[in-house]
Amino acid sequence: MDKATFDHYYAKVSPLKEEIAKSIVGQEKVVEGLLLSMFAKGHALLMGVPGLAKTLMVNTLGQVMGVDSNRVQFTPDLMPSDITGSEVLNKNREFEFIPGPIFTNILLADEINRTPPKTQAALLEAMQEKHVTNGGKQMDLPNPFFVLATQNPIEQEGTYPLPEAQLDRFMFLLKVDYPTFDQELAIVKATTGGKLEMGSSVLSASDILAIQDLVRAIPVADNVIQYAVELVRKTRSDSSEEITKKFLSWGAGPRASQYLILGAKAHAFMNGKYTPDIEDVQAVAEWVLAHRIVLNYKGVAEGVTEEDIIRQIL
């Protein structure tokens, strides 16, 4: 890892946060999670009720990072081709592929659990493979490519919950809370007056790719990797953790260990550290593990949350 390159891009972190804060009031932890997952080449799943500026977050990220962004509203009648694109007959009587909204840098998949599994799978395959297949031809997606999907925790009727194997594709699960009184006051003042101020571009697509390569190249001590692996293994039923045996049906897989380390690397970069330590792993642990562990009947009945168990293990 080149320290001069590290310092050059780390100097952009503070201006990046400042520009985002011009449009997004509060939600600092959520914004941090979005940046970390993007810099680590992951995708993020947002959980929150409607009206908490999820769409504005995506538009703002696209603006300050100098990349394109699109939004897809997931509905029960949405087809895979509505996301990936389809072939149409042009004026020359030839089939022509019309790219779908997935051909962008940042995609907001709004209420992903409101569309059937077939359509969910089309998006999740593209997230994993970074390409779309149509008519036997593979078409690469733009680079960088980041998916921010949202799930609504209320109005469960008419939803198709993501299976655990598909949830595992998302690096982070970020929970969006209601703003504080002062934050809500600031939001109302900012959005009911004149034109809403949007942040200026701080990065470019090439800068994001360079940061992603930089994060991958950050060295990690063996004891930090060992800590991450031990942490994940403590969520499994064969561990010695009493709370795990008591409240969990099953725990996180190896991908969680990988994402803990990648998240810790990105967290170290965002804080100007040349190598992550155990505190960086702990900082991203809830985001990585919460959607990868499954409560058993006893855990649900007693009102235990996934975050409670993760904090206890930590």
Same domain, 133 and 264: no
Calpha distance 273→242 (Å, rounded):
35
CATH number at residue 15: 3.40.50.300
The pLDDT value recorded for residue 156 is: 55
The pLDDT value recorded for residue 153 is: 67
Q: Give the end of a domain, one of 160, 187, 217.
A: 217
- Which residues are CB-neighbours of 39 under 8 A, at least 6 positions away? 208, 211, 212, 215, 266, 269, 270
Q: Count the domains in the chain.
A: 2
Q: Give the end of a domain, one of 182, 217, 252.
A: 217
Domain of residue 304, residue span: 220-314
Q: Give the end of a domain, one of 167, 196, 217.
A: 217
* Nearest Cα to Cα of residue 258 among 6, 33, 40: 40
Please tell me the pTM assigned to this model. Answer: 0.86
Q: Which two tokens stand for residue 153?
A: 């925790």
How far is residue 141 CA from its own chain's centroid?
17
Same domain, 197 and 268: no
Same domain, 124 and 32: yes
Q: What tens-digit pLDDT sequence spans the chain (314 residues)? A: 678 888 888 888 888 888 887 777 777 888 889 899 999 999 998 887 666 677 777 778 888 888 888 888 888 888 888 888 877 777 777 777 788 888 888 888 888 888 877 888 778 778 888 888 776 777 888 888 888 888 876 555 556 677 776 788 889 988 887 877 887 787 787 777 666 666 677 888 888 999 999 999 999 999 999 999 999 998 887 777 788 878 888 888 888 999 999 999 999 999 999 999 999 999 999 999 988 888 888 888 888 888 888 888 88
